A and B are shown apart, each in its own frame.
Chain A
């Protein structure tokens, strides 16, 4: 907790005591963050899964008689777009795409990047060198350019967004995992395991990985938000999900054309992204607090 501006031995003792007390109080707060995050995410997933129950009009059903209806119009809680399509319906169905990206794209890069970083860090030597040069190359390449180029080559579609993310995003995990592994392999418990004669694979997966995984897991929450935003950005640039797909970024891009006449078309999908982003962010913070090894 914070301290006063004067310094005296009694103050110092007080400071130490408050810190200890704070540690206990903030454990609950730490868990709270995680719980709230999981709750929000759960809410989003539930709404998205239950979409057919919650809305009667499909996401792509055109209603030419009702274009550009503002939010709170009877029958259209969030309004309609230029073709009369219900915005709430599009948000819920579009959420399936964005969350699929958050989970699907992130999990693959998490696993692949972690494995590569683990192996490189553990083996060291030439493997490590070559791998880290490749990682440097990826990092130096303007990220968005690479993704744009890949999409331009393969054609814009949701699946190709996955591919583009898989190709470009594993490097961050590799770098983190490799750094963690390099430090870990000098630790006592690894040296002991090796001395006991355990094979390299076993040491890597049974010993090092469990102790270092927290860093990449926490990062993956951040990355999940990043991937949603990346998908939205690609949709925004016209390189991601194509109209009439209700992907949130594509909706924002379409909505930009109507910002002076129907502001809700561009605003609401962004709020949806923010909602899910907050959920992942809180989960990430909560996990980070939970998994942080002690105060020192």
Chain B
């Protein structure tokens, strides 16, 4: 069976899933009490003004007609017009992508930097002090809510020892790296817990595997065994975990962005739900879904590339 023979079928599933998401979001949104007119008019609300706003926003048409219009626009590449920002929803969303993207990548890299050496080392020296210390540390950070950890980090590193800024995105690459260090660390610590655990278990498991003994008996040097076989197989086992959690992490940035006041997609989502800005909420949800699905697909492909045995099972 070819390695990627089931890819087209997989892509079809992806499209169906995304379509399902737009449908669910669309109707779910309109079930939330309070409509855009209320959000816009606030204390100067009158039914007459509300009706006029509804007419202006196209909300007075039957719901199926609204959905049809939305999907039609979507096929032509438009997400509609933001009720709150009075700009195309696409523009608004695109403006908010950089902080979130930067944060996610930064967190993923930091998590990798933290967990790969520690997890591998802990697995190698399992049972020793290093391993125990790592386990304790990560048990602790796993149980911490990310938003709380963020608050604590701010208290320590921004308020009492003013090393890092409390909030914001900064400017320029160095600026971003500086401003986003605490938020990225917050996420990375939670993320690392799972990675370290998986990598450690995978390392131990691989160490005990038969083929390691075989390789050794054949006279291959230990360090080469470690590099070639143990490390590589351990990382393989972890790729799946990394991918799944990375997808989960994306929606988790909502809380961290809130704590650190980052103008990213998470903040946009929460604010837009408050503002009842339907087009933007629909757009952001779709972006998140695409990212998650994309990462899952990417993870599967990477796994397949690293290990031919896995590739045959992609379609199942």
Contacts and interface: CB of A to CB of B under 8 A. Distances in A.
Interface of A: 1-7, 9, 12, 19, 22, 25-26, 29, 133, 136-137, 139-145, 148-150, 152-153, 155, 225, 229, 232-233, 236-237, 249, 252, 256, 259-260, 263, 266-267, 269-270, 273-278, 280-282, 285, 295-296
Interface stretch (B108-116, B179-187, B249-257): B249-257
A270 B145 contact: yes
B134 interface: no
Given A26-B127, A152-B32, A274-B140, A7 B145 contact: no
B271 to A, nearest CB: 12
B302 interface: no
B174 interface: no
Given A149-B28, A152-B273, A153-B33, 19 more contacts: A1-B126, A2-B126, A7-B216, A7-B220, A7-B221, A9-B217, A139-B296, A142-B251, A142-B285, A143-B251, A144-B254, A145-B251, A232-B148, A236-B147, A252-B147, A260-B159, A270-B148, A270-B152, A278-B140
B139 interface: yes
Nearest to B293: A140
Contacts of B135: 285
B17 A256 contact: no
B292 interface: yes
B251 A274 contact: no
Contacts, number: 148
Contact of B270 (A225, A237, A256, A274): A237
A2 to B, nearest CB: 5
B213 interface: yes
Nearest to B136: A278
Nearest to A229: B145
B44 interface: no
13 contacts: A2-B126, A141-B24, A143-B248, A143-B251, A145-B285, A145-B288, A152-B273, A229-B145, A229-B146, A232-B147, A236-B258, A237-B270, A249-B145
Majority SS of interface residues in chain B? helix
Contacts of B254: 144
A6 B226 CA distance: 12
Interface in B256-273: 258, 269-270, 273
A12 B218 CA distance: 12
Interface residues of B, number: 61
Interface in B203-244: 208, 213, 216-217, 219-223, 225
A267 B155 CA distance: 10
Contacts of A145: 25, 251, 269, 285, 288
B133 to A, nearest CB: 15
B125 interface: yes
A6 B222 CA distance: 6
A278 B17 contact: no
Contacts of A296: 208
A2 B142 contact: no
Contacts of A136: 13, 17
Interface in B88-144: 124-128, 135, 139-140, 142-144
B148 A252 contact: yes
B148 A140 contact: no
A144 B252 contact: yes
A252 B151 contact: yes
Interface in B263-297: 269-270, 273, 285, 288-289, 292-293, 296
B173 interface: no
Interface in B15-74: 16-18, 20-21, 24-25, 28-29, 31-33
8 A-B pairs with the lowest CB-CB distances in the bound complex, closest first: A277-B143, A270-B148, A142-B251, A142-B288, A152-B32, A229-B145, A2-B125, A274-B143
Contacts of A259: 151, 154-155, 159
